[in-house]
Structure 1
Amino acid sequence: MEKVSRFRRRVLVGSLVGCLALGGGVLMCLPGEGRAGRTPVAAPGAQAGAAVRAGAPAALADLAALVEERESRVRAHPKDARSWAVLGAAYLEQGRRTADVAALYPKAERALRTSLKARPGNNADALDGLAALAAARRDFPAALAWGESALKAAPGRWTTYAQLVDAYTGLGDYKKARKALDRLTALHSGPVVRARAAGVYWDQGRREDAQAALADAAADASSPAEQAAWLERGGQLAFERGERETALRHFQEAVRIDPGLWAAWAGRGRALAALGRTSEALRAYRTALAGQPSPQYALELGELYESLGLAREAGAQYDLLRARVREEEAGGVDGELVLGRFEADHGDPALAVRRLRAEWRRQPGIAVADALGWALHRAGQDEEALRFALTATDRVHGGAMLSAPYVHHLAVIERTLGREGPARRHLREALQINPYFSPLLGPQARAAAAQLGDEPPPAELPS
């Protein structure tokens, strides 16, 4: 009971802080009439405004109210740089949470650039927003450039360091990502910072620290939408550890709190499939795709269908994936990673290699290294594939993330090259991390591990 009342107090305090922070006369909270001491009621969209400026998730209904308010404001005051920046951030968050990326991301960019024109100097609000937009589009070089510009405009602004963490991670510069996180945590604390820290901890292989940070973020969330988002992120981490039941509980609670959080529906499908509850998994994935037809969700559902021998249904999802990537590209989203992964396993591996080589030259993150290594293997270029697979799993130079798919890819490449000892060890490691990592590749990994058997006993020394 104490937890419930404590959460309600946090929600109320968050709402009031949001009203004061936005200002401008439009979102100001005024005391209600009636009895003295009556609790002020937050203006519509106020909490969403505070959330988007801090980089926190917000409810779709609140975002719609915020967009309506800010659009009215900029029509009446077209030189209001702050309102344009808040409007751009709201469009961005709407795009993240819905299927309308092609329309909303360009609208976000136009609003943020209009803010910059209205106030060219010292406009960290707009620069931060442009960095966040670039990261959402998977354009990490641009995210870094905008983030560095925001840092010059306002060196002590904590939200900028959150953007830099994302940019450096996407570029594969994990040392700078850790430094940016250290600066961020020195400047600010709270759920958004803890959630960013969890991502860095996970990349470092600090799984327990990552889970603890997300649990704290969910407990201290200032709104139900934010709490659901951190629960969904915690579910992702639990699943990647092979904890199917724990992951499912996280996803189900996130969906209960925020039924429009489509990532939680997709996570629910992932966990249910791992538990063998296939019919429920298919329904959960279909729900996620109906609300947000993400290429990644389509790939996962297609592979689940394929694992069940349903080739026609799988093909329909793969067609959806291609169509959605084209639509998102119209909104400036870089879909090369998901396309490369798809082509490597279900299309043209040589095309996957070409796509992913270009992506690696532009933004050499760990996810791209893994995908390129696997595409090279599928294209029959295993010597070069091994180099990228080792990069993705090298715990000395950044690849500390304990990822079952990455380690499995390395093991398969090693086995193809006749390196049975390392392949045996890495297959076992992948299955220890998460034996349910893929409905297609998981069974193959278990079969390969059984074929390779146990480590041979050491040779006896001559007497």
Structure 2
Amino acid sequence: MGTSLVPEPPAPRRRVLRRVLVASLAGGVVAGTVLMLLPHERRHGPAAPPAAGPEARPRAQVPVLTTVTYGVPAALPGLTALIGRQERLVRAQPRDARAWAVLGSAYVERGRRAGDAADYPKAERALRESLKVRGGRNTEALDGLAALALARRDFPAAKSYGEQALKAAPKRWQAYPPLIDAYTGLGDYEKARSTLDKLLALRTDAAARPAVMARASAVYRDRGWREDAVAQLTDAAAAARTPAEQAAWLAGLGQLAWERGDLADALRHFEAALRLDPDQRPAATGRARTLAALGHTPQALAAYRAVVAKQPNPADLLELGELYESLGQPGVAEEQYTRMKEAVRRAVSGGVDEEVLIGRYEADHGDPWDGVERLREEWRRQPGIEVADALGWALHRAGEDQEALTFATTATDKAKGGGVRSALYAYHRGVIEAELERYAPARRHLEEALRINPYFSPLKAPLAREALRELGDVPDEPPPSE
């Protein structure tokens, strides 16, 4: 049996009640739940900062630290305003370690939310200054550095900082979610499981609970427990305390719906998220992707162009390029790939590890051997499931199908850690098996890809259907390894 991140799935939920709650959330109203905003916040946006004083400043800072390090989203305008205040504060009080930590953490969150890696070097300088002023049990700075490492996809560094923060204060729930992400990125599922167990055993207050539920949802999704993932994220959205936080969890519900091919549900959630927070970039990209799958091509292209005009994120540009390519417009697709390479250079200059994205691009649109070399090194450094799938596909594209199957199996076989139900991963494995003349398992995995999500890629979903037609009826015999 495979290694599970949690000892067992949660108890079955009441499906009818959850369907009602999901529908209410997607409509922007949560039955029986009131967003916990002050009266002036409802009418005029975020409250003004409290007056300076020994008690006022920590209350202003804690939400940002929670937002940045522990996965509780905040609105972009509020983050920018906070950064301005903290910059003035550290100029006036350069020995204030907490002020430096808050400034660095706010930079991380703004960069992550806006998709702008230019904030990351500034974040690192501020957080290291905080450690310089006050080392030891400076958990705020360590939390910020762990969040920064995750934003940069540097899982070994995230693990190191997260473990230091946990050792300094083992009862703080906030140290656990970054460690779960770090261990998962490193393919260390045993430690991810034990860390999640400890997080779920802690007593958390009402403000923290939605973030904990969202973390549990992500873990359940990675293990293939779709219904439980939806249940946790639905509860997180219902309990969210700000529009930005609720929008993030609704965007997550949209992504879960997309991954199972439920386009109507995905679109409802993405649009509900954007009504609450127009800066919710994953929701905007998800909406564009869903519109394309629904066949609303002009609206989809307009939505994608709006997203990449606001902030040209490499992954979004790659998606847009592949959509143009699927529409028979290679010239326009190439323009997006060129923009993607420029965006990658900017991200890398901010310290972001983009090797998986570059490897995927090279495998499908460039030099597969370059992708293989990059992804081999990435696998040595942080051997997660995403890297296994990308490396397996690059090896296939380079003609090394036998070795490719090893990595494709790692990405899809629960016994090897690949519990996530990914249409793309199943497609990759099916194609590799067909090339190796393992026709029965190839057919099973290609069918599985289209069963998981028939719209998983504008380029590859049609290829999966074509490959199945070419395979025709083959005996459903197990492969030799089974």
Tell me if TM exceeds 0.5: yes
Q: Distance in 2 between matches of 1:88 and 1:429?
A: 44
Match of 1:422 in 2: 441
Structure-1 residue corresponding to 2:101: 85
Aligned counterpart, 1:322: 341
| TM-score, structure 1 as length reference | 0.90
Aligned to 1:121: 136
Distance 1:291 1:99 in 2: 10
Runs of 4+ in 1 over 6 A off after TM superposition: none
> CA offset at residue 290 of structure 1?
1.4
**1:165-204 aligned within 5 A:** 165-187=180-202, 188=204, 190-204=209-223
* Contact 1:236 1:247 (C-alpha < 8 Å) held by counterparts: yes
Match of 1:293?
A: 312
Query: Hey, what does 2:4 align to over in structure 1?
Result: none
* Contact 1:260 1:291 (C-alpha < 8 Å) held by counterparts: no
Note the C-alpha offset of 1:26. 4.8
- Is contact 1:26–1:73 with CA below 8 Å preserved after alignment? no
Tell me what 1:94 maps to.
Answer: 110
- The match for 1:33 is none
CA distance in 2, matches of 1:341, 1:53: 29
Q: Does 1:155 align with 2:174?
A: no
Say whether 1:239 aligns with 2:258.
yes
- Counterpart in 2 of 1:399? 418
Which residue of structure 1 lines up, in the alignment, with residue 267 of structure 2? 248
Unaligned segments of structure 2, at least 5 residues? 1-23, 478-482
Partner of 2:20: none
In the aligned structure 1, how far is the partner of 2:211 from the partner of 2:49? 19
Could you say which residue in structure 1 is the equivalent of 2:458?
A: 439
TM-score, with structure 2 as normaliser = 0.87
* Selected match of 1:379 from 381, 398, 414: 398
Pick from 305, 319, 325 the counterpart of residue 306 of structure 1. 325
Distance in 2, matches of 1:283 and 1:410, equals: 33
**How much has 1:19 moved relative to structure 2?**
8.6
3-state SS of the aligned residue for 1:7?
Answer: coil
Cα distance in 1 for partners of 2:393, 2:94 equals 50
CA gap of 1:313–1:191, structure 2 versus 1, over 3 A, is same
Displacement of 1:455? 4.5
Q: 1:377–1:83: structure 2 CA closer, same or farther, 3 Å change rule?
A: same
Letter in 2 for 1:62: G
- Work out the CA distance in 1 between the residues paired with 2:352 and 2:220: 26
Structure 1 residue aligned with 2:33? 6
Partner of 1:39: none
The unaligned stretches of length 5 or more in structure 1 are: 30-42, 459-463
| Gap change, CA 1:341 and 1:24, over 3 Å in 2 | farther
User: Residue 17 of structure 2 corresponds to which residue in structure 1?
Assistant: none
Question: Shift of the alpha carbon at 1:54?
Answer: 4.1
Superposed displacement of residue 133, structure 1: 0.4
The change in CA–CA distance for 1:75 and 1:214 in structure 2 (over 3 A counts) is same
Work out the CA distance in 2 between the residues paired with 1:158 and 1:7.
25
Question: In 2, distance between residues paired with 1:178 and 1:233?
Answer: 22
Report the alpha carbon displacement of residue 25 of structure 1 after superposing the two structures with TM: 4.5
1:63 aligns with 2:79: yes
- Whether the aligned pair in 2 keeps the contact of 1:370 and 1:389 (CA below 8 Å) is yes
Deviations 1:411-435 (A, max 9, x none): 0000000010110111111111011
* Corresponding residue of 1:277: 296
Change (3 A) 1:48 1:12: farther
Code of the residue aligned with 1:101 in structure 2: it is A
1:38 aligns with none
1:259-286: CA deviation from partner (whole Å, max 9, x where unpaired):
1112211101111111111111111111
Structure 1 position 24, deviation (Å) = 4.1
* Equivalent of 1:210 in 198, 216, 229: 229
**Number of residue pairs the alignment of both structures matches:** 440
What amino acid maps onto 1:204 in structure 2? R
Contact 1:106/1:331, CA 8 A, preserved across alignment: yes
Q: Give 3-state SS (helix, strand or coil) of 2:267's partner.
A: helix
Cα displacement (A) at 1:438? 0.3
Q: Is 1:264 aligned to 2:290, yes or no?
A: no
> d(CA) in 1 for partners of 2:316 and 2:54?
40
Contact 2:79 2:106 in 1 (8 A): yes
3-state SS of 1:332 partner:
coil
Q: Partners of 2:58 and 2:192 in 1: how far apart? A: 36
Q: 1:457 to 1:285 in 2, by over 3 A?
A: closer
Q: How much has 1:81 moved relative to structure 2? A: 1.1
Counterpart contact for 1:53–1:86, Cα < 8 Å: no
* Residues 457, 137 of structure 1: alpha-carbon distance in 2 compared, 3 angstrom cutoff: closer
Deviates more, 1:64-73 or 1:249-258: 64-73
- Paired AA for residue 56 in structure 1: V
Confirm or deny: 8 A CA contact 1:74 1:84 kept in the other structure: yes
- Quick check: 178-187 or 322-331, which moved more? 178-187
Give, in whole Å, the separation in 1 of the partners of 2:311 and 2:201. Answer: 36
Q: Find the counterpart in structure 1 of residue 381 from structure 2.
A: 362
Q: Which amino acid aligns with 2:116?
A: D
Query: Whole-Å Cα distance in 2 between the matches of residues 430 and 376 of structure 1?
Result: 20
- Larger RCO (CA within 8 A; separation ≥ 6): 2
Aligned CA distance change for structure 1 residues 228 and 457 (closer, same or farther; 3 Å) = closer
Residue 37 of structure 1 is matched in structure 2 by: none
- In structure 1, C-alpha distance between the alignment counterparts of 2:181 and 2:437, rounded to whole Å: 38
In the TM superposition, residue 105 of structure 1 has moved relative to its aligned partner by 0.3
| Aligned-partner SS, 1:120 | coil
Separation of aligned partners in 1, 2:164 and 2:442 = 46
CA deviation after TM superposition for structure 1 residue 372, in Å: 0.2
Identity %: 59
Among 80, 87, 109, which residue is 2:124 paired with?
Answer: 109
